[in-house]
């Protein structure tokens, strides 16, 4: 990746031209750079990286109704039209929302990708409800810091994995249980917690024992959100109760996803094979496995703006880099140690 001059973006009739003030950096940026997405999202080069931004509308296409020049906005542009590590970008109106008024440009730029990911996982797929138990992995990361707050907004009970140094952070965000992934095994800890609750519950209702096997009672989470490796994915299955849902944003992709993106027969077959083991195990436990690749949505961003302006969700920005240091910002995200989000200040 290097800095260079590119032509000004063309503005279609349904597009808004945004002068970018800040852009969020995400693992997807270095993954695209490394070619990891080329089967799913073919890009043409030279490609401007960057998957989310906040800025000011400077021009609108003839059919745009919701925005006008001068509006402060934020967006995750759709996958075929990324490129927020830049001074300007043309984005489809449907992908844009007014930026939360309580946030700075840098804070707003940190929200769209992780906010939409958490929304689509917990609200759309899991249909999260009050009192449900959710396990969110990597609670101190970009997705995790948002997902914990969103789950709490829906009245869920949240367990998360993080290193001990991030416990204050994840507890402040609302996590009820934090598990040190460097020292402890989340599966054992969550099961032990349940065992205590279970023993206390027994004093009130002996009948519980007859209704369920002990293993079923110990595995009582409704939702698990995985953003880590395969081992974590398979272990997460064991904390979910029958009827629960295991959502993974780090793979493996499943046949539903292949259908969603209209994958070729070969690619569909590859996805079927890659997810075979986890789908089979999930089925045996009566759990639904679902791979999610988030998508752009201005409508959902509007809902997220409201939650932010009501003070229900706060951004979590670890570091802001100057535009000239975009490469360093990418390298920092690539270390996998960021606490919350990393942002590039463009203007």
* CA pair distance 276, 201, nearest whole angstrom: 37
For residue 166, the minimal CB distance to ligand NAP (Å) is 5
- At which residue do the structure tokens 């789908």 appear? 279
Residues in contact with ligand NAP by CB under 6 A are 26-28, 31, 114, 117, 137-138, 140-144, 161-163, 165-166, 181, 227-228, 249-250, 292-294, 333, 336-339
The CB-of-132 to ligand NAP minimum distance in angstroms stands at: 21
Q: How many helices (H) and strands (E) does the chain have?
A: 14, 13
> What is the nearest approach in angstroms of ligand NAP to the Cβ of residue 27?
4
Least CB distance to ligand NAP at residue 232 (A): 7
> In this complex, which beta carbon is closest to ligand NAP, that of residue 63 or of residue 259?
259
Q: How far is the CB of 167 from ligand NAP (least distance, A)?
A: 10
The string of DSSP letters for 92-150 reads EGGGEEEPPTTS-HHHHHTSHHHHHHHIIIIIIIT---TT-EEEESSTTSHHHHHHHHH
Q: Are 261 and 129 in contact (CB under 8 A)?
A: no
Query: Of 246, 212, 213, which Cα lies nearest the Cα of 232?
Result: 246
Pair of tokens at residue 83: 């490129």
* Token pair in block for residue 266: 């070969």
Structure token pair of residue 41? 């999202």
**Which candidate, 91, 55, 85, 89, places its Cα nearest to that of 70?**
55
Q: Which is nearer to ligand NAP, 165 or 214 (CB)?
A: 165
The nearest distance, CB 182 to ligand NAP, in angstroms, is 7
* Pick 168 or 215: Cβ nearer ligand NAP: 168
- The residue among 272 and 319 lying less far from ligand NAP, judged by its C-beta, is 319
Cβ proximity to ligand NAP: between 31 and 280 the closer is: 31
C-beta of 184 vs 299, nearer to ligand NAP:
184
Question: Which is nearer to ligand NAP, 165 or 208 (by Cβ)?
Answer: 165
Residue 160 Cβ, how far from ligand NAP at the closest point, in Å?
8
User: Cβ contacts of residue 278 below 8 Å, gap of 6+?
Assistant: 230, 233, 234, 237, 246, 248, 252, 289
Residue number with the smallest Cβ distance to ligand NAP: 141
């Amino acid at each position: 990746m290097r800095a260079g001059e590119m032509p000004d973006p063309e503005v279609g009739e349904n597009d808004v031209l945004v002068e970018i003030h800040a852009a969020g950096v995400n693992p997807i940026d270095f993954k695209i750079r490394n070619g990891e997405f080329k089967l799913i999202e073919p890009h043409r080069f030279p490609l401007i990286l960057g998957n989310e931004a906040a800025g000011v509308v400077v021009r609108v296409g003839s059919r745009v109704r919701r925005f006008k020049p001068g509006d402060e906005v934020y967006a995750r542009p759709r996958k075929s039209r990324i490129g927020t590590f830049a001074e300007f970008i043309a984005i489809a109106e449907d992908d844009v929302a007014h930026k939360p008024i309580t946030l700075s440009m840098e804070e707003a730029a940190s929200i769209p990708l992780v906010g939409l990911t958490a929304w689509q996982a917990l609200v759309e797929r899991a249909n999260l409800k009050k009192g449900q138990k959710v396990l969110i992995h990597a609670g101190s990361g970009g997705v995790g810091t948002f997902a914990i707050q969103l789950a709490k907004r829906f009245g869920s009970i949240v367990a998360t994995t993080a290193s001990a140094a991030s416990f204050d952070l994840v507890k402040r965000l609302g996590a009820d249980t934090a598990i040190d992934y460097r020292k402890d095994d989340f599966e054992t800890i969550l099961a032990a917690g349940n065992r205590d609750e279970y023993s206390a519950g027994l004093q009130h209702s002996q009948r519980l024992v007859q209704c369920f096997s002990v293993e079923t009672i110990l595995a009582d989470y409704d939702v698990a959100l995985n953003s880590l490796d395969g081992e974590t994915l398979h272990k997460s299955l064991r904390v979910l109760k029958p009827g629960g849902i295991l959502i993974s944003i780090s793979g493996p992709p499943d046949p539903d996803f292949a259908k969603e993106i209209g994958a070729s027969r070969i690619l569909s077959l590859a996805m079927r094979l890659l997810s075979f083991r986890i789908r089979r195990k999930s089925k045996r436990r009566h759990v639904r496995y679902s791979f999610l690749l988030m998508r752009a949505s201005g409508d959902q961003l509007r809902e997220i703006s409201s939650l932010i302006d009501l003070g229900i969700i706060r951004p979590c920005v670890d570091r802001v880099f100057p535009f000239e240091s975009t490469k360093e910002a990418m390298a920092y995200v690539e270390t996998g140690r960021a606490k919350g989000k990393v942002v590039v200040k463009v203007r």
